Amino acid sequence: MKLPNFEQSLSALVELSSISSTNACWDQTNKPVIDLLANWFDYLGFSVDISLVPDSRNKYNILAKLGSGEGGLLLAGHSDTVPYDESGWLSDPFSIKQKDGRFYGLGTCDMKGFFACIMQVCRNLSVTDLTKPLYVLVTADEETSMAGARFFSKSQTIRPDVAVIGEPTELTPVIMHKGHMSHRITVLGKSGHSSQPAGGVNAIEIMHHIISKLLKLKRQLALNYSNQAFDVQEPTLNFGAIRGGDSPNRVCGHCELDIDLRALPGMKDEELLYWLSESSKDIANQYVGRIKFDEIDPSAPSFEQNKDSDVVLFTEKLSGHNCCAVNYATEAPFIQKLSGQTIVFGPGSISQAHQPNEFLAEDQISKTLNILTQMIQRYCITINDKT
């Protein structure tokens, strides 16, 4: 077996579709990607452990380890991509197109390119070089439920000194992000003929009152909570989807609203759920048994890392970028349970993620290889008392 170069590695990973979706028609297993990476890691001398993620649609994690002992470095990321709109792509999403200093393809920056970089950094690395272990974690379903990272954080006993989640940050160390929770509000009305509205209970009208209360909550959150580290400084409440009714001449008997709430670090899920419940409590009391709140996906916590941590200062120095906060959620809070020093840091831009014609800029690759090499040197080869 011959280990492929960067472009060959990236091409092979992108060719293997590994879409995660809440829609079963789109959702796919990630096993082909996991098997390919397992073969490469095995060739490089890593020990490889593949785990089936419980209660998933045939999804897997992989933990590869080189070296022994305590501490060390964990490089982590997800194997899945979002679905794609073929009409928006100018090339085949599953075939790498190199043009104008960019590699185009689904998952190139989010985040299969990170694993292609890891392969190149490790190709000349020997276990005899290491004084502490190097781990590589590949997870499942980050784009939906984060089930892979949740399972890993509960089932593993490894305790690396430092963890790096290679999401596309344009090689800027991210030390803070918001949490994420999503809920579905369902109103069960009573259908009837529109000429006799009193004979029914209009679910859309009830939902209108609920939305008014939620808009008030949204304003209160913005007034009372703020963090200047974020470009969107307040917690956000988004009305993402609404469904209700079937005909203009019928009283609507059923209506659903899907909402998304992104909390600042320090805000607890219990508080948020209480505020959501309290916001429409009087309406629920008026329409007993007709309103329910259901979680769509398990909530993802917010994330915060001390900006004076060794890994933050070291990565700032290597990258030339100051640490920052971002509005989106990652697997960092789950990985942080295993490692006291955790950052989000990787090649590519988040503005390309989840977009048609996603690409990874070539000028990010050599920088990533250099930084990962120096991280492995610092946390796995050179004994560093600061960790």
Q: Which residue in this structure is represented by tokens 């971002």?
A: 326
Query: Which tokens belong to 173?
Result: 């160390």
How many residues are recorded in the chain? 387
The DSSP annotation for 50-82 comes to EEEPTTSSS-EEEEEEES-SS--EEEEEE--B-
d(CA 15, CA 2): 19
Q: What is the rounded average pLDDT for all residues in the chain?
A: 95
What is the chain's alpha carbon radius of gyration, rounded to the nearest angstrom? 23
**pLDDT above 60 for 385:** no
- Domain annotation for the chain: domains and CATH numbers: 6-177+302-381 (3.40.630.10), 180-300 (3.30.70.360)
**CA 143 to CA 253: how far, in whole Å?**
33
Q: For residue 301, how many other CB atoms are within 10 A of its CB?
A: 21
Q: What's the whole-model pTM score?
A: 0.91
Mean pLDDT in residue range 28-42: 98
Query: How many CA atoms lie less than 13 Å away from 88 in the CB half-sphere?
Result: 10
- Please state, for a pLDDT cut of 90, what percent of the chain lies above it: 94
pLDDT of residue 90: 96
pLDDT band of 387, cuts 50, 70, 90: very low
- The pLDDT tens digits of the residues spanning 227-274 come to 999 999 999 999 999 999 999 999 999 999 999 999 999 999 999 999
Confidence grade of residue 42 (pLDDT, cut at 50, 70, 90): very high
Q: Which residues pair with 134 in a beta bridge?
A: 66, 73
What φ, ψ does residue 59 adopt, rounded to 5°?
-110, 150
For the stretch 172-229, pLDDT in tens is: 999 999 999 999 999 999 999 999 999 999 999 999 999 999 999 999 999 999 999 9
Tokens of 386: 């600061």
Give the model's confidence band at 383: pLDDT under 50 very low, under 70 low, under 90 confident, else very high: low
Q: Per-residue confidence at 157, pLDDT binned at 50, 70, 90?
A: confident
DSSP labels, 329-357: --SHHHHTTT-SEEEE--SS-TTTTTSTT
CB 315 within 8 A of CB 324: no
What is d(CA 134, CA 65) in angstroms, rounded to the nearest whole number?
Answer: 6
Q: Which residues are catalytic?
A: 80, 142
Does 386 have pLDDT greater than 80?
Answer: no
